[in-house]
Amino acid sequence: MQIAPPDYDRLFGALSDATRRDIVRRAIDGGEGVAELAGHYSMSFAAVQKHVAILERAGLVTKERIGRRKVVRTNPEAVRVARGLLDRYDELWRGRIERMTALLADSNDTKETDR
């Protein structure tokens, strides 16, 4: 199944929260249900359930029935938006290069002022 075009607003909106990022990380192995996930956080079951629902709407996790249990699993399709991630990583380094350039320019200016 194609997920096209990815809803980046929703995707990154869902990832903009530290707890939800942590849930995505934990659910890569996909062994835990909402109740077990909730055990990792100092918030109510309902609050964790709400976070999972937001992630589900963004396509980042799915709930999968295994026997009588429902486990939360990170969606490999969404994770495979690796191209996008690679782009983000590129952006991260471009930001760093910009700051490096500014820093080098700073020290050049200082040298000239010293003269």
Partner 1 sequence: MTVTAVRKDVEHLTMTLDAEFEASPERVWQLWADPRQLERWWGPPTYPATVTAHDLRVGGRVEYHMTGPDGDQPHAYWDVLEVERPHRLLLRDGFANADGTPNSDMPLNTFEVTITDLGTGRSRMSIASVFPDTAAMEQLLAMGMEQGITAAVGQIDAILAEGAVASGTAR
DSSP 63: E
- Apex 83 CA angle, 78 and 85, nearest 5: 75
Is residue 74 helix, strand or coil? strand
Question: Do 37 and 21 form a contact (C-beta atoms < 8 A)?
Answer: no
**Which residue in the set 40, 46, 69, 87 belongs to the binding site for partner 1 (CB under 8 A)?**
87
State the nearest-atom distance from the C-beta of 68 to partner 1, in Å. 27
**Minimum CB distance to partner 1 smaller for 7 or for 44:** 7
Rounded to the nearest 10°, the torsion over CA 62, 30, 90, 83 is -50
Residues 9-38 close enough to bind partner 1 by CB under 8 A = 9, 12-13, 15-16, 18, 21-22, 24-25, 28
Which residues contact partner 1 (rule: CB under 8 A)?
8-9, 12-13, 15-16, 18, 21-22, 24-25, 28, 74, 79-80, 82-83, 85-101, 103-105, 107-108
